[in-house]
Amino acid sequence: MNGNDYKHFRVYRDDRDVVTVWIQHASRSVNVFDDEVIAELWQIVSDLEDDRLAKLVVIRSAHESGFMAGADVTKIAQLTAVEVDEALATGQALFTRISNLEIPTLAVIAGPCLGGGLELALACRYRIAQDSSTTRLGLPEIQLGVIPGWGGTQRLPQRVGLSQALPMILQGKKLNANKAFEIGLVDRVANEANWKSAVDQFVHDLLKRPRLPNHQVPSRIGSWFFDHTAIGRRIVLHMARNHTARQSAHYPAIPAAIRAVEAGTKRKKDGFAAERFEFSRLIETPACRNMLELFFRRERARTVSTWQASPQSDAAHDSDADHTTIHKIGIVGAGVMGAGIAQLAALKKFHVVIKEISEELASAGMKRIEDQLTQSARSGRLPEADAQAAMGRISATCDWAPLESVDLVIEAVVERDDVKAKVFRELSRVVNPHGVLTSNTSSLSIAHMADASDRPQQVGGLHFFNPVHRMELVEVVRASTTSETVVDELVQFVRALGKTPIVTTDTPGFLVNRVLFPYIGEAIQMICDGVETEVIDREARRFGMPMGPLELLDQVGLDVAYHVSGSLDSVLRDNERVVKLLGEMVTRGWIGRKSGLGFYRYDGKHRGPATPMKPLLSGVSAPLVPHLDMASDGLTDSQRRLIYPLINESIQCLQQRVVAEAWMVDLGMVLGTGFAPFRGGPLSFGEHIGWKHVARNMKALEVMYGIRFEPATRLEELARTGGTLFVANEDRSGFGTQRLTRH
């Protein structure tokens, strides 16, 4: 068996009768399963079933991007429930045939091995993984509103046990190579330097001993009981149901996954059938459709031409998708944000120069980064070699001169216009004429900084969210003077960091903070009206938010929120009580978690009871509110007060061209704030309610609570005309193949 008769595979047999199957998707830089790939792999497996000479099959990727990204999501989105069931049956049958081959099979995993890719690897008898920062093994289907469908809910628990498998299936948790080895998911691990020799050695060992035992993790009595006895498995599944009860109300894929796993613990054949049934049922749920749309929006945001004033073809830009003209960056300010950005950039192989105002602060910034990298290496989240290499790419200085040769500067100093203007004047003096100058400000005017520079066309914003290593979104801010070339370069840079860009205009709060603050502000208005802190946060969580607005304020810092409230004064109405209460809390030193006191009390990392607000509310009177009937929207009174201002401000941002299209608002709010993903985003949720109902309820809230609830002009227009913010059957993926209809 030898040849290149396949479009997406190369198959070679060496003189030891080792058959290597190289996966190399012909039209993508990342391997995915589509109809052609499955058909070709089916034929390869058929040939292997008839092969009496082959002694070992090695499956690996010829793409540097990784092993396999999983199934083609655009294809999944096009299928009906019946077609999905057929596709699942085919995939399950294919992987079962691989698992039943008499020839030993070895999956060689370097880079991402996700979804269907991990299910393929699980169907192989043996697995070896490369210890690198890019290698991740996981089943992320739950994040698309579905479950693994090609045997993942069955083979993963069989391989690693229920207690280790469930977090991967129910949370979409991804593991690095060392963690995968630790739980028994892979049999061997090797670093990049020894990768080739380690793979060769594993092949050699399997040729000598074809029935080599898999790597087994020594099990304690407790874990053995939970993973290998019927009553133990029932206990684990019961605990999983209890632990996920709140999320299950919004994410039907979670209980569906538990049911599929449970069926497999009773009878293997029933488990595979249950997996197909549950997946097919989920594909038509609103939660799945919304989460699939978010996936496509994410991909669209990562396409450079999406953000161009005169877009060229996507193909032209996808060919150099990871290319950036930026190689060396400067960071001015080594506080939490500056250090976080520097660390991320260094891990992505950019050279970084940190500028601080003193040697003491420069050293403190370097220590902050070193401590974070060391902790990541010790915990196994990052290979030691990668941590050391990243640290080697960073230097710190208290002089301006070392910034002369950088391609990009990111300013991350204190949020004061005068300080930032001074920094930009210095940068203009020092940085080479081609260098791009940006600010990480969350709310201040980029135009003011451009005015302080000698190159306004090369000034823009790069607003990272905290914590930098976790938050996927970066707002790329285009001032009126920013050139399109610079916007393109910044978008490419954000992509190279592994983040998702949203390009916004230079307006107070940009997109995310501007849309978020009316929601946070209304929570404070409710406090002033006497609503309990815990009630407000509980209602937000029940809506689907990851945390309540007052919890969020404590996390961010009330001092930061107070500053932002001042910069947003020009776009927010009826804001006096909010600013007054925040100001009073900041004056008292109640600034949230970092001070131990905010809307809640804190003891170290542990949150305590809510802080009594009555002492701060003297002189603040709650209005007498008439009761008005509301159009049906599925929300409680408290949820309506919180969410409607957010929807209204989202429409205001569209109306004022902060971003160009509705999907950009939705994606930004999901990635930047955690807005309930299963609802698709604030504008998708508004469409789900119906704009006529939203407008009617907004007007009622305006009568009850004031002018801040006045509906946006475009909202009233949508209600009057029955219009939509999303084009029917719109190609929301940006790839010209998938069509999603709203259910």
Provide the whole-model pTM.
0.91
What is the DSSP track for 72-103? -HHHHHH--HHHHHHHHHHHHHHHHHHHT-SS
Structure tokens given for 530: 């006497």
> Tokens 């992509």 map to which residue?
495
Amino acid at 377: A
Q: What is the pLDDT of residue 620?
A: 63
Q: What is the pLDDT of residue 337?
A: 96
Interval 314-354: pLDDT, tens: 444 444 455 789 999 999 999 999 999 999 999 999 999 99
Interval 171-184: pLDDT, tens: 999 999 999 999 99
Q: Which residue of the set 61, 248, 513, 648 is catalytic?
A: 513
Q: What is the mean pLDDT of residues 450-459?
A: 96
Domains in the chain: ranges and CATH: 9-282 (3.90.226.10), 327-505 (3.40.50.720), 509-622 (1.10.1040.10), 624-743 (1.10.1040.50)
Mapping DSSP to helix (H, G, I), strand (E, B) and coil, where does residue 22 land? Answer: strand
pLDDT category of residue 731 using cuts at 50, 70 and 90 = very low
Q: Which residue of the set 61, 178, 442, 565 is catalytic?
A: 442
> Cβ distance 412 to 341 under 8 Å?
yes
Mapping DSSP to helix (H, G, I), strand (E, B) and coil, where does residue 461 land? Answer: strand
729 is catalytic: no
Q: Which residue of the set 119, 275, 411, 475 is catalytic?
A: 475
Q: How far apart, in Å, are the Cα atoms of 654 and each of 142, 539, 647, 662?
A: 31, 27, 11, 7
Q: Which residue of the set 463, 575, 649, 650 is catalytic?
A: 463
Whether residue 373 is predicted with pLDDT greater than 50 in this model: the reply is: yes
Q: How far apart, in Å, are the Cα atoms of 395 and each of 23, 351, 367, 402, 690?
A: 40, 8, 11, 10, 54
132 is catalytic: no
Q: How far apart, in Å, are the Cα atoms of 8 and each of 127, 197, 555?
A: 22, 26, 48
475 is catalytic: yes
Least confidently predicted of 16-20, 288-292, 612-616: 612-616
Least confidently predicted of 73-87, 181-195, 566-580: 566-580
83 is catalytic: no
